[in-house]
A and B are shown apart, each in its own frame.
Chain A
Amino acid sequence: MFELDNALNNWRRPFQLGKYYSRSAIDELEAHLLDAYAEEISNGHAQLEAFEEAVRRIGHEADLRDEFRREWRDKNWLGRYVNRFRWESNWIQNPVGRIGFGVLRAFSLCVAGLGILGFPDLVRHVSGDPTFWYIMPGTWFPFFGRSMFTVFALAAVFNLMPLSPWRGYRNELFRLSYAQLALVGILYNLNLAISRGAESSVAVGILMTLAVASGPILWLIQMFGRRKSQVEQDLSVA
């Protein structure tokens, strides 16, 4: 028994998982598909046959990907950024979950922004230690051995990875660097919190860990969620 809503959902899914389609673009393609479907029905086709013919006319996601990718690449950095931000959560079916993910992502970017603009003051306030940022065990953290501000500034820059001007493997390298930095940051903060022992240091450690880790945590959620979503899609098609 053919059900139009199910068929539409199955057709939409690869577009939702794809990187280059805004919600509005998918809605527009769906409106076209429905017009084509209505035309095929009026030509005397059965529902399933009409839907298949309409899909053949408009194309599957794989057929349209190159054209949409070309259009996406022509966008300026802000357009790509907004597009990327939307894409990150559009694999989540539940609207509440999508909003939740968006809030977390916004938090991660806000923390990144704070890292550049005002986070040192915030942490200094939380820790009550005016020299906090200038004390670093140099041998433990050789690459960024001056102040944690450097780490935060770098974390902030890496947190803005959707702004990466690169594509393909260079973008992946960018993400990998971020993950490495995050790991080092987490280990350092744990070490710092343990060695200082004070409650304020624990709070600062948690704050910094959150700041550095929020990006990759969301990235991992997204990566595994998207993969799970793709598997469900494959199963439903099968």
Chain B
Amino acid sequence: MLNKELTAATVRPAVLAILAEQESYGYEIIKKVQELSDDEIQWAEGALYPMLHRLERQKLIKAVWKTAENGRKRKYYRLNVKGKQELDLLRDQWNAASNLLGKLWGPKPCLN
């Protein structure tokens, strides 16, 4: 299970990456994260929404209310062009961090 700081750090890139695939709503985003991480990452469900609103305010994502098949209204989010650029930037940064840690923790070359 990821610690609190690392979990918080993953929210922004993970939300943008999920929305890059298709438009989605809060509950579905949470479910997707749980499924992809095999429940290793547990977000506080209600706390996702301020983050979504912040991304919306920063014009990285766009929101629209739609009526689902069961008749209930849901707020769907999708990525903007600016959001795609932000996602690319975050991906580069996380890849750089991942490469560094991979080299530090990966198998060491052995001369014997």
The reply on B59 being an interface residue by CB < 8 A is: no
We find that the number of chain A residues with CB closer than 8 angstroms to chain B is 22
On whether A32 and B26 interact (CB within 8 A), knowing A75-B57, A79-B57, the answer reads: yes
Does any Cβ of A come within 8 Å of B45's Cβ? Answer: yes
Interface assignment of A28: CB less than 8 Å from any CB of chain B: yes
* A36 on the B face (CB < 8 A): yes
The interface size of chain B toward A, counting residues with CB under 8 Å, comes to 18
Q: Write out the residue numbers on chain A whose beta carbons fall within 8 Å of the beta carbon of B25.
A: 31
Taking a contact as CB atoms under 8 Å apart, the answer to whether A27 and B46 are in contact is no
| Closest-CB distance, B8 to chain A (whole angstroms) | 10
Q: Say which one of A40-48, A58-66, A89-97, A172-180 lies at the interface with B.
A: A58-66
A167 at the interface (CB under 8 A from B): no
From DSSP, what is the main secondary structure of chain A's interface residues?
helix
- Inside 8 A of B57's CB, which chain A residues have their CB? 74-75, 79
Contact pick for B45, options A34, A59, A71, A74, CB 8 Å: A59
- Interface positions, chain B 42-69, Cβ under 8 Å from A, are 44-47, 49-51, 53-54, 57, 65
CB-CB under 8 A from A24, the residues of chain B are 65, 75
CB of B73 within 8 Å of the partner chain: yes
Q: Is A57 an interface residue (CB 8 A)?
A: yes
Contact partners of B75 in chain A: CB under 8 A: 24, 27-28, 31
B54, A32: Cβ atoms under 8 Å?
no
CB proximity of B108 to chain A, nearest CB, Å? 42
Contact (Cβ within 8 A) B45 A57: yes
In the complex, what distance in Å separates the CA atom of A75 from the CA atom of B53? 10
**A67 adjacent to chain B (CB < 8 Å):** yes
**Which chain A residues border B49 with CB–CB below 8 Å?**
25, 28-29, 32, 64, 68
Given contacts A24-B75, A57-B45, A59-B44, contact A32 B27 (CB under 8 A): yes
User: Is B47's CB under 8 angstroms from A31's CB?
Assistant: no
Q: Are A70 and B72 in contact (CB under 8 A)?
A: no
The answer to the question of A129 belonging to the interface, with a C-beta cut-off of 8 Å to chain B, is no
Interface residues of B in 2-28 (CB under 8 A from A): 25-27
Apart from A31-B72, A59-B47, 18 more pairs, CB < 8 Å: A24-B65, A27-B75, A31-B27, A31-B75, A32-B26, A32-B27, A32-B46, A57-B45, A59-B44, A64-B46, A64-B47, A67-B44, A67-B50, A68-B49, A68-B50, A71-B50, A71-B51, A71-B54
* 13 pairs, A vs B, C-beta closer than 8 Å: A27-B73, A31-B74, A32-B27, A32-B45, A32-B49, A58-B46, A63-B44, A67-B46, A68-B49, A70-B50, A71-B53, A75-B57, A79-B57
